[in-house]
Structure 1
Amino acid sequence: MSIIGTKLRKIRKATGLSLKQLSTKINGKISISFLSDIENGRSNPSFENLKLIAAALETPVSYFIEDSKDSIFSSTIDDADFIHIINLLQDFKDWNIEDKKELLFYLKAKKVIRDSNHQ
C-alpha cells in the first residue's frame, strides 16, 4: 500500500465514509474502483484528483504528501482524530484576537495540568 493510499483509507474511515460515499462527495469525478485502487496501492492519483479527494474529506492536500517523519507532529499526524484538529485550525489567521487568546490560554492550562499529573 502507498503512503497516499494508507492515508486516504485512514482519513476516509475516520470520517465514516464508504468508498461510494466519497465518490459521491466528489460528484462522481473519481470512481469507486479508482479510489479503491489508490487505497490499495495499485494506482496513484494525479495532483488534480488528489485535490478533489482532499476537498471532499476537508483535509489539506499536504496531509497526503507530507512525510510524517519530517513533521513537527510526527507522533500524531497519522492519528486520524488529529486531522480534525488541523481542519479546525485552517482558518486560525481569520479568528478574532479574543478567540486566539482563549485557545492559547486553554493550551497553556492543559499543559500545566498534564505536567502536574506527571510529577
Structure 2
Amino acid sequence: MNNALTIMVIDDSSTIRRSAEIFLSGAGYRVVLADDGFDALAKLADHRPALVFCDIVMPRLDGYQTCTLIKNSAAFHATPVLMLSSKDGLFDRARGAMAGSAACLAKPFTREGMLAAVRAHATSSPD
C-alpha cells in the first residue's frame, strides 16, 4: 500500500500497543504509538493520523478526555477516534459517543476486527 494511512494507537499497555502495531503495520498502515493521552496530543500535529484508536482506562488523561480534546481541536475534529474498551458495555459506548468517538472496539481485539474498524472509519488523509 503506497501512500499508507497513518493510524495512532493510544494505550497504556505495551502489549496492546505492540499487538495493534503488528496488526496494522502488517496490513500496510503507518503506525504511531502513544502511551497516554498527553503523549498522543503531543504527537498528533507531527503525524496527522487518519484514524485514532484510544484506550478508555489510562492514567493522567483518560480516553474520554483525550477523545474530547482531539474532537475539540480545529485541526483534528474530523479525525475518527475509536475507543478501545476492556468492558464492552453500553455505558462505555454511550460515553464514548458523547465524547465524539466514532465507535468502540472491545479488547482483546482481533486482527480482523481492528482492520475492519479501520476500513469502516478511516478517511483518506487530505495531503
TM-score by length of 2: 0.33
Q: Determine which structure has more spread, i.e. the larger CA radius of gyration.
A: 1
Structure holding more strand per residue:
2
Normalising by the residue count of structure 1, what TM-score does the alignment of the two structures yield? Answer: 0.35
More helix by share: 1
